[in-house]
Amino acid sequence: MDKNTFVVIMAGGIGSRFWPFSRTNYPKQFHDVLGTGESMLQMTARRFKDICPPENIFIVTNKDYEALVKEQLPQLTDNQILLEPVGRNTAPCIAYASHKIALLNPDANLVVTPSDHVILKEDVFTSVVQKGLKAASQDDVLITLGIEPSRPDTGYGYIQYIDNEGSDIKKVKTFTEKPNLELAQMFLDSGDFVWNAGIFIWSAKSILNAFRQHLSEITEVFDEGNMVLNTSEEQNFIARAYSQCRNISIDYGIMEKVDNVYVLLADIGWSDLGTWNSLYTIGEKEKDGNVIDGDALLYDTKDCIIKTPKERLVVVQGLENYIIAEYDNVLMICRKDEEQKVKEFMADAKAKRGPDYI
């Protein structure tokens, strides 16, 4: 296990597409979504047990979730929990963690991952990450994991690569964010496009150099904190720093602009678990195609996903292709093929019923 390997887990989002299960005060990364006895955050942290020392795992999250992180990952020190005063997308989040870790270890190599993704082939994932870390430690490269698409999904970003025979690490040609269905089908047919998993591997030196070239204003903000990062003054500095950072993703701010970006093809059983349909896709289905997490009696009901409290009996008759989800004070029943309206439902619930419902 390499002491120069660090893992940054991004755990600050609220997962609004997974409402009403994912809520502002208890987002999906802190839930046991798959019924395994572990939250998504706990599963993600455990996934790296053979990749880096436990003291090299850092969590970036909203300050409001500090207690949840400490409760679920009590082995972490305060210095391993990076608290954002406000969400500013992935570029400031990654800049913060990269500056902090580079001060601890200038030779650090980083794996940056969301906290709410599913990896079914964990042994393969470990091998893939180790391959990426070896490449990142030897060359000035920024690597993202690429997943072979199984369907023309319009909810994912796509990466086109230049095929160099004999290597799973391929030069990136283009990025395309969430194409329409026709374009997604063309990507699938072409054979040289993969889904962008949003899991990154690079050295601290390489990513900080990319920030200096393409997001210099963010670099300048965090450079001012070099004397206080990893000290008791860090949080006061971060509150000021985030007020000066714009909202921008690492993909748009850096990955789509640099010429040293590569994709590492990864057959790891991946899902971003961003929507109810993604949970349905990976869920265990009973004979009528239903995915059930809860206590349910079903009659003439097919291809539904039902996630309800285990202490409540739910009886469903005559539905097909529906989401039936209950958490706390909200029950939602929605067609699976119209789940894009979930964000609209959430906004309406806030506007018409108040913040207790989001």
pTM of the model as a whole: 0.94
Does pLDDT of 165 surpass 80?
no
7 confidence band (pLDDT: 50, 70, 90): very high
Helix or strand or coil: residue 306? strand
Question: What's 23's DSSP letter?
Answer: B
Q: How many CA atoms lie within 13 A of 340 on its CB side?
A: 4
pLDDT at 152: 87
pLDDT at 163: 83
**Long-range CB contacts (< 8 A, 24+ apart) of 78-86?**
79/230, 80/55, 82/58, 82/238, 83/235, 83/238, 84/12, 84/60, 84/238, 84/242, 85/238, 85/239, 85/242, 85/243, 86/62, 86/242
Quick one: tokens of 236? 């006061």
Residue 118: what are its φ and ψ, rounded to 5°? Answer: -100, 130
CB 221 within 8 A of CB 215: no
Does pLDDT of 85 surpass 80?
yes
pLDDT at 203: 98
Domains and CATH numbers, the chain: 5-271 (3.90.550.10), 284-353 (no CATH)
Q: Would strands 313-317 and 295-299 be described as parallel, antiparallel, or unpaired?
A: parallel
Average pLDDT (284-304) is 97
265 confidence band (pLDDT: 50, 70, 90): very high
Question: What's 330's DSSP letter?
Answer: E
Q: What residue type is 15 in one-letter code?
A: G
Q: Which residues contact 55 (CB under 8 A, 6 or more apart)?
A: 77, 80
pLDDT at 322: 98
Tens-digit pLDDT profile for residues 322-336: 999 999 999 999 999
